[in-house]
Amino acid sequence: MPSYQAPIRDMRFVMDEMLDYPAHYARLPGGDEASPDVVGAILEEGARFARDVLLPINQSGDEEGCLLEGGEVKAPNGFKEAYQQYVEGGWPSLAADPEHGGQGLPPSLAMLLSEMICATNLAWGMYPGLSHGAADALRHHGTDEQKATYLTKLVEGVWTGTMCLTEPHCGTDLGLINTRAVPVDNNAYAITGSKIYISAGEHNLAENIVHLVLAKLPDAPKGSKGISLFVVPKLLPDARGNSGERNAVTCGSLENKMGIHGNATCVMNFDGATGYLVGSPNQGLACMFTMMNAARLGVGVQGLGLTEASFQNSLSYARDRLQMRSLSGKQAPDKAADPIIVHPDVRRMLLTQKAFAEGGRMLVLYTAQMLDVVEHGESGQERERADTLLGLLTPIVKAFLTEVGFESTNEGVQVYGGHGFIKEWGMEQLVRDARITRIYEGTNGIQALDLLGRKVLMSQGESLKVFTKEIHQFCKAEAENPALKEFIEPLAKLNAEWGELTMGVGMKAMQDREEVGAASMDYLMYSGYVALAYLFARAAKQASASLDGDDKAFYAAKLNTARFYYQRLLPRTKAHAQMIQAGAASLMAISSEDFGLGFEI
């Protein structure tokens, strides 16, 4: 079974030393509650819960899967008990509004807990994973009555939430949905239709499940402009707000999946189920985006957690596994062969995972600061800037961290060699679980289109300039720092090139909109590599200034990891830049009919 120790030392380095979280929290209303001691206690207890409660049921949950009987889903053994401990520990309420029973701590703290959960048991983590987003959607768009009915239960974790978007005939193109909402008495609607791929749509962990469902009213305009959002509980609340009679919503089947077997991915059937409109009619997509954006950040954290899990276990195996001798001579003369960690190619794989784990953590915590400010910042100008950066970085967090997360878990299997391909070691499960992260909550191709087309080009590049200006100012301030020359010079060049590539795509797109789609995925990956380069440069600055302290080995390793990233991973931007500049011509030259020349379909 894989092992895991929460990387608290690295988390505290990023939070306390690099991003100055103590000062960040002090500026937030109520941030004084997040004192260093409180944060430390939360991290330590979260690490214990993830390691001692969730990790032991991860492999067994994968092997058992979920069981559907009579419309009821039973999660794997131990999942319900773990959820009860999660609720009793107050974890669901960590960053929720005190008005609804939350602890009122900054959202960034919940992101750290989420990383630990994803690293130890991704399938289990998906049961409470969407509850926070459901609560946010209702908090921002629900009526006072809806807030009173649902928010406290969701915050406490007594009820869980889902997001019901996709239907059998349509995935990302939500304008094609067929689910209908017909008005009935007392402001209620009868919801009828089927939704697929609904994570945690039915389970036995919590007493009730609150579905947020996209549907169309009888007089709705066509397409995405005619979508409304409805809250549809599994059990209808009674007069006191407690779970009452069963609603007409059932799980028709469970998907037979490649991974995340311990989570119930459901086909949900709504047969005239009672639902209530959330927000204004035909504005459902805008309301749902509150939940979708939170979910996309959460999926990025899943990529990070799986990267860390893969790295830790690869490292442990590489230190113990004996295979051949080092090219430079015996490194372990008292043993029959050397540990494989001495071999350069194994080190390449380990350092790739290590760099993506540490770089991903920096990106998540940097983005989490923006989330804190958007939620709790004192000035409108501060909140607006943070919101711009949050919008820009969300698709990068989601797509880039899941792309490199899948790469990292594959490298983990490779470090183990044949043993990695064998089920008992647990490494192949990480690959299977990681694969879905590139697909759900908007495929990575959709995230790339959102980044380039919507966030960057539709703002005339202004959103990107907020971030590139910050990088430019950092490079300018550190230009004469000899300890950072190896980082600052390439970073400054890439930062300038980022703007040039953006302008080039924008100019081409004025003549041919296909240029946006042709460039988007490479543009997103380029953006992710440059964003991590900026954060590694900041980490290198902090580490180089701390080399004379008590933890010299940690800071030296941080510098060497930054050097590896710059020398062995950052050059990938050259290929992405070349592909961005190649344009759409070669992609669109072959007709759809000619794709299959040479064989019959």
Dist CA 209 CA 118 (whole Å): 22
User: What values do phi and psi take at 245, rounded to 5?
Assistant: -75, 155
User: What values do phi and psi take at 111, rounded to 5?
Assistant: -65, -40
Q: The dihedral of CA 192, 194, 197, 203: what is its sign?
A: positive
3-state SS, residue 469: helix
**Residues 149 and 223: beta-carbon distance below 8 Å:** no
Dist CA 508 CA 506 (whole Å): 5
Q: The dihedral of CA 160, 164, 166, 168: what is its sign?
A: positive
**Residues 313 and 427: beta-carbon distance below 8 Å:** yes
> Which ranges constitute the DSSP H helices of 324-417?
344-376, 380-416
Residue 425: both structure tokens together: 């070691």
User: What values do phi and psi take at 130, rounded to 5?
Assistant: -95, -5
Q: What residue type is assigned to position 283 of the chain?
A: Q
- Write 413-422 long-range contacts (CB < 8 A, 24+): 414/349, 415/314, 415/317, 415/318, 415/340, 415/346, 415/349, 415/350, 416/314, 416/317, 416/321, 419/317
SS (H, E, C) 123-182: HHHHHHHCHHHHHHHHHHHCCHHHHHHHHHHHHHCCEEEEEECCECCECCCHHHCCCEEE
441 is catalytic: yes
Q: Which helix (H) or strand (E) holds 230?
A: strand 228-233
Residue 127: both structure tokens together: 């049961």
Helices and strands of the chain, counted as H and E runs: 21, 11
Dist CA 69 CA 73 (whole Å): 6
User: What values do phi and psi take at 407, rounded to 5?
Assistant: -60, -45
Rg over alpha carbons for the chain, rounded to the nearest Å, is 24
Choosing from 308, 411, 428, 441, the catalytic residue is 441
Dist CA 343 CA 349 (whole Å): 10
Angle value at C-alpha 401, between 356 and 82, nearest 5 degrees: 100
Angle value at C-alpha 461, between 455 and 462, nearest 5 degrees: 90
How far, rounded to the nearest angstrom, does the alpha carbon of residue 209 sit from its chain's CA centroid?
22
* Helix 572-582 with 514-544: angle, nearest 10 deg: 160
3-state SS, residue 198: strand
Catalytic residue numbers read 441
